[in-house]
């Protein structure tokens, strides 16, 4: 392909020379991108150059059962990352929920609609994550004690209440926490 420097800027010429496969992606659908001049485009290079295109290409390769062309190393990394993200979201939602339950229990005079909203919101998020991935309930059981300790520490900092004023053992059962959205009357 001849490049006319009069119609393309220098950065476009550099981009074409460095990432010709990305330019082809803009011109042709993914199915045409998989092979170029009889050679397979290296999906490993694609991963670092254009993640979304790498993802589309990997899905296409899986659908077409072209297993020898798949970038397994990055695919495994992404799948593991998805699992870690789910666990991290669960832990974050639980910590925020426990913090607000502690604030409500130890500062009831300051209970606001915003606190109620946060309690209901994070309770719903946790329960929805269990519906989508029931195996996360086991992880919830595992992280509950440590997450309570984190919530206890952070609530102390946020409220100015000494940490030792909050019980060492969580004052709420796991069922209480998972059903805390029902604590408020409509």
Span 87-112, pLDDT tens digits: 999 999 999 999 999 999 999 899 89
- Average pLDDT of span 118-136: 96
Q: Is the pLDDT assigned to residue 30 strictly greater than 70?
A: no
Most confident residue range from 100-114, 135-149, 171-185: 135-149
Q: Which residue has the higher pLDDT, 66 or 1?
A: 66
- Average pLDDT of span 47-72: 89
> 35 φ, ψ to 5°?
-130, 140
Angle in degrees, CA 10, 14, 18, rounded to 5: 175
CA nearest 54: which of 33, 83, 35, 23? 33
Contact 116/171 with Cβ under 8 angstroms?
no
Q: In this predicted structure, which of 19-23, 24-28, 58-62, 121-125 has the lowest mean pLDDT? A: 24-28
Distance CA(93)–CA(168), nearest Å, equals 20
Give the model's pLDDT for residue 19: 55
Give the model's pLDDT for residue 17: 53
């Amino acid at each position: 392909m001849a490049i006319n420097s009069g119609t393309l800027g220098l950065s476009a010429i550099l981009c074409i020379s460095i990432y010709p496969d990305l330019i082809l992606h803009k011109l042709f659908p993914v199915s045409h991108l998989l092979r170029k001049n009889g050679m397979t485009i290296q999906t490993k290079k694609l991963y670092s150059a254009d993640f979304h295109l790498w993802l589309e290409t990997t899905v296409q390769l899986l659908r077409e059962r072209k297993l020898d062309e798949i970038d397994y190393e990055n695919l495994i990394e992404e799948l593991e990352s998805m699992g870690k993200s789910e666990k991290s979201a669960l832990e974050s939602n639980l910590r925020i929920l426990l913090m607000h339950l502690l604030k409500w229990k130890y500062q009831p005079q300051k209970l606001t609609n915003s606190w109620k909203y946060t309690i209901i919101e994070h309770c719903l998020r946790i329960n929805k994550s269990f519906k989508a991935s029931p195996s996360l309930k086991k992880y919830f059981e595992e992280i509950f004690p440590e997450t309570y300790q984190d919530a206890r520490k952070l609530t102390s900092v946020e409220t100015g209440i000494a940490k030792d004023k909050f019980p060492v053992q969580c004052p709420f059962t796991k069922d209480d926490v998972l059903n805390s959205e029902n604590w408020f009357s409509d």
